[in-house]
Amino acid sequence: MKRLAALLVLAAATPAAAAPGPFFSLRNTDFVVLISFIVFIGVLLYFKVPARLAGMLDERAATIKAELEEAKALREEARTLLASYEKKQKEVIEQSERIVAQAKEEALAAAAKAKEDLKVSIERRIKAAEEQIASAEAGAIRQVREQAISVAVAAASDVLAKQATAESAAASIDAAIDQVAAKLH
């Protein structure tokens, strides 16, 4: 009732009061509009529209609050996942750095081993070449000696043939036979 009275006071203090003619007449449009407005407000109050609107607003506020809480939970979950992925990424980077360092070490070790193997191989080839040279040198010396012996034997046989007589040849043959017999027995 107090609300209705307050509403009437507000309505009376409006420019509608300045309209010509009596205010409380159905011919006065301002009065008709005021009555219609009061009836409309009454209908709204009778059907408890403000309470329903407040309930709908409260329900909407509760829904929004639930959505905000869900969004906060999702945000925290996303932060946790992000931290987890950043940690995994850091671990992967560290692991890749360790793998690269190990690969460098293995490559350096392999290079050093290959260098050592090459050095051993070169020394072996040099030794084999020196042995071939020594063998070829010994062969050449032997051939030179054999050639020298052949030449000396040929020269000696020529000299002996020119100097030898039948008696000295027979004596040489006898001496050679005696030498062979002594060595064989």
pLDDT in tens, 58-111: 999 999 999 999 999 999 999 999 999 999 999 999 999 999 999 999 999 999
Q: What is the pLDDT of residue 126?
A: 94
pTM value > 0.85: no
Split at pLDDT 50, 70, 90, the class of 3 is low
Which of 14, 7, 13, 15 shows the shortest CA–CA distance to 35?
7
Range with lowest mean pLDDT among 1-5, 21-25, 97-101, 140-144: 1-5
DSSP string over 113-150: HHHHHHHHHHHHHHHHHHHHHHHHHHHHHHHHHHHHHH
Mean pLDDT of 8-23: 56
C-alpha to C-alpha distance for 22 and 44, rounded to whole angstroms: 29
Quick count: other Cβ atoms within 10 Å of Cβ 181? 9
Whether the predicted pLDDT of 20 surpasses 80 = no
What is the residue extent of each domain of the chain? 2-119
Split at pLDDT 50, 70, 90, the class of 124 is very high
Share of the chain above pLDDT 70, in %: 86
**E strand residue ranges, the chain:** none
Biggest alpha carbon distance in the chain? Answer: 196
Phi and psi dihedrals of 28, rounded to 5?
-85, 115
C-alpha to C-alpha distance for 37 and 43, rounded to whole angstroms: 10
